[in-house]
Amino acid sequence: MRGIRTRIHLLASRTHKWLALLLGVQLLLWFASGAVMSFFPIDRIHGDHLVDRKTVEPLSSGTKITTFDRFANGFDEPIESISMHMLLGRTVAEVSGGGKVALFDATSGKQLSPIGSSTAIAVARKAWRGPANATATTEAVANLSTEYRGSLPAWRVSFNDPDNTRVFVDARNGRIAAVRTGTWRFYDFVWGLHIMDWKNHENFNSPWLLGFAIGGLMLWIGGATLLALRWPRRRRRKPA
């Protein structure tokens, strides 16, 4: 019995030691990145202090909406839904169906999408809460990236503020699809370290994460076994 106990102790000790060496750095990154991410308020990560995406402009009560046929004639897919919203003081109809989205003037039925760069800048400017003297430039988003994974086509409106803010405007409906700031980029980098997806920062089911998580569990089991084996035991006193 003593020999079995000794072998278990030796196996647990070696397993715990080598796993600690292999997992130590990543465990430190997990704890550190978790602490960093919990430090930042989520509204700051989303850039709400710089870009207002929550205020909704009410529809104009005097707008005369055109007939459904005007939208159907300009849309080459079966229409699944039509929603109205305001875009720079104009009532527009957002038509979707078959995975496609198009924007129409609600009064005339004229198709407005894809919107142009000047409209994208105006949309971003209207929602801007940052420095009033910040200038904005725009360029088309050609490919998806770690910074933007929304719908295409889209416009990227860049402000020259201290946080290097970029506002992504969906060219299909004129809505702000994403806001990226320096704080968000740092948070995204830390998030990539946390989930061990160093390239795309989005795969939570990577084999690296799974392997290290299992290793961390084994590290705990080894430590718990050592603790149990080394725990001082009271000897029973022999009756007098």
Within a domain: 148: yes
138 within a domain of the structure (yes/no): yes
Given a cut of 60, whether residue 1 has pLDDT beyond it is no
pLDDT digits (tens, 9 = 90+) for 15-65: 666 667 667 777 788 888 888 888 889 999 999 999 999 888 888 777 788
Domain of 68?
Answer: 54-174
One domain, residues 195 and 167: no
Please indicate, yes or no, if residue 179 is contained in any of the structural domains: no
Q: Give the pLDDT score at 206.
A: 77
**Residue 138, SS3 per DSSP:** strand
pLDDT of residue 177: 95
Domain count, the chain: 2
Task: Looking at the structure, tell me whether residues 163 and 75 fall in a common domain.
Answer: yes
Query: In this predicted model, what pLDDT tens digit does every residue of 178-233 receive, in sequence order?
Result: 999 999 999 999 998 888 887 777 777 778 777 777 877 777 777 777 667 667 66
140 and 58 within one domain: yes
Alpha-helix runs per DSSP H in the chain:
2-39, 42-45, 68-73, 117-127, 182-195, 207-230
Please identify, among 127, 145, 174, the residue that sits at the C-terminal boundary of a domain. 174
Of 63, 77, 76, 60, residue with least CA distance to 106: 63
Q: Is 216 a member of any domain?
A: yes
pTM of this structure: 0.78
